[in-house]
Amino acid sequence: MNSSKSILSETEAISQAVANLPKTNPFTLSQEYFELFSINLLRTIQQFQQKSLSTPENYFSTFPSKVLGKIKQENSTAELEDLSPMLARMQKQNPFYVPENYFATFNATPKKEQAIIRSVFSYKRIIRYAAAACITGLLIISYTYNQHNTTSPLAALQRNSASDLSLESIIGYLDEVDDVKDDNESDTPITAENNLLVDINQETIRQVLQEIPENDIKQFIDQTGSTEFKTLN
Amino acid sequence: MNPQHSEDEELVARFKEPKTKESAFTSIVKKYQERIYWQIRRLVINHEDANDVMQNVFIKAWNGLDNFRAESQLFTWLYRIAVNESLSYLDQQKKRSNISIDDSGLHLEEKLHSEKDFDSNKAVWKLQLAIQQLPEKQRIVFNLRYFEEMGYEEMSKILETSVGALKASYHHAVKKIEDYILNH
């Protein structure tokens, strides 16, 4: 009753017109409907269950043989006639010779052969696989090592040994190196000791000095205080 | 414990026993058939259609009661089946008759017109005509609240919708019905 009142007041709050409408049921229905409904329903359920569950007697026990019979019947002769009418007309006689009383004296018991026991787990197989793995590993390692060595500059230099290079090419290379050094303004002074390719002797120095004016030499000596060059000339 | 709930539990327990299965089922059907019937009838209009749906509902109940775990009340469970079956039935009818979603209200209106003693001038029939204009969900909510006087909590379990959404649905449904009645 409380819920009816609350629902009515809720509806009134939304729409007075709707709340005022009569709640009478306009639909018609026979009086016996509900009395008979449960009985009719159970009958329907029982019929449904019987239909879905019933099968003829011995259905499953005879089913395989019936199916096989049908398969054999179907088309075996008709198929042969389609493929080769001549073969279909030929008599099905067995031409092979069988000794007399063969089937009567046939011993059906099989020989007791012992099955070969093969081990699933085989040491030989494992050893073979291990050896193959080791060899493969060694090959990979040596290949990788070789590759590393052949790509280094030192290896390249060793490959191209000095006997393959001419003197002109070495001098030309050194000239290029000198040019690069000049460009880069090397910090290390070029001295006689580290300029190994220049043959320095007294005669060469004398020739160089003769080209330089005496006054310049004197000036140089006075500045450096060196007595070395006084004995040259 | 709610006495109705304990009675339902006993009926379900008896249903699960092979010897008392049919008698328990008959008791359940007799207990809920009218309420479920009218809920279906207000949705499908036609008695023959309602009878078909009723049978489907209780056959489903027969097949499903063995697994019923009483997590919800028996009535709530039956109502949920009834609502789903009604909607499925209406969908099938639409597909068979090639009726679009927009025309489904019109289709039900035509069914109302063919009902015995139909009189569009009478308020009760006008209300039914107004209800058929509503979208399906609103129609169900309005019927459950207005005619069944069902609480929102119980309705929420049947329709698996929040209470807030149901309140909003009822509000919109009442407004649309008012609008229809005032304009027709």
Contact residues of A toward B, CB < 8 A: 3-4, 7, 10-11, 14-15, 17-18, 21-29, 34, 37-39, 41-42, 44-45, 48
- Which residues of chain B, if any, have pLDDT below 50? none
Q: What is residue A178's predicted lDDT score, i.e. its pLDDT? A: 62
Cα separation, A38 vs B33, in Å, equals 8
Q: What pLDDT digit, counting tens, does each position of A138-152 carry?
A: 999 999 988 877 655
Cα separation, A92 vs B152, in Å, equals 86
- CA dist B49 → A39, B93, B122 (Å): 19, 10, 24
Q: Looking at this predicted complex, what is its ipTM?
A: 0.82
Q: What is residue A199's predicted lDDT score, i.e. its pLDDT? A: 57
**Record: contact B124-A22, CB cut-off 8 A:** yes
And the tokens for B8?
């339902």
Q: What is residue A172's predicted lDDT score, i.e. its pLDDT? A: 74
Q: Place A232 in a pLDDT band, splitting at 50, 70 and 90.
A: very low
**Record: contact A26-B128, CB cut-off 8 A:** yes
Q: What pLDDT digit, counting tens, does each position of A122-134 carry?
A: 788 889 999 999 9
And the tokens for B114?
């063919």
B6-11 contacts: CB < 8 A, separation 24 or more? B8/B70, B8/B73, B8/B74, B8/B75, B9/B70, B11/B74
> Which domains does chain B show, CATH number per domain?
1-98 (1.10.1740.10), 100-184 (1.10.10.10)
Mean pLDDT of chain A: 73
Q: Place A85 in a pLDDT band, splitting at 50, 70 and 90.
A: confident
Cα separation, A209 vs A188, in Å, equals 24
Q: What is residue A233's predicted lDDT score, i.e. its pLDDT? A: 45
Task: Kindly state the average pLDDT of the residues A182-205.
Answer: 59
Give the nearest chain B residue to A1 (CA atoms).
B149
The angle that helices B3-15 and B21-44 make with each other, rounded to 10 degrees, is: 120
Chain B residues with CB-CB distance to A52 below 8 A: none
Q: What is residue B105's predicted lDDT score, i.e. its pLDDT? A: 64
Q: What is residue A14's predicted lDDT score, i.e. its pLDDT? A: 93
Cα distance from A55 to chain B (closest Cα, Å)?
A: 22
Q: What pLDDT digit, counting tens, does each position of A87-136 carry?
A: 777 766 666 666 777 767 765 555 566 677 777 777 888 899 999 999 99
- CA dist A170 → A81, A154, A155, A192 (Å): 96, 17, 18, 20
pTM of this structure? 0.55
Best mutation target, B23, B27, B131, B146, to test chain A (most A CBs within 10 A): B146
Cα separation, A229 vs B6, in Å, equals 131
Q: What is residue A93's predicted lDDT score, i.e. its pLDDT? A: 63
The domain limits of chain A are 30-87, 125-153, 198-233
- CA dist A225 → A39, A220, A230, A231 (Å): 141, 8, 11, 14
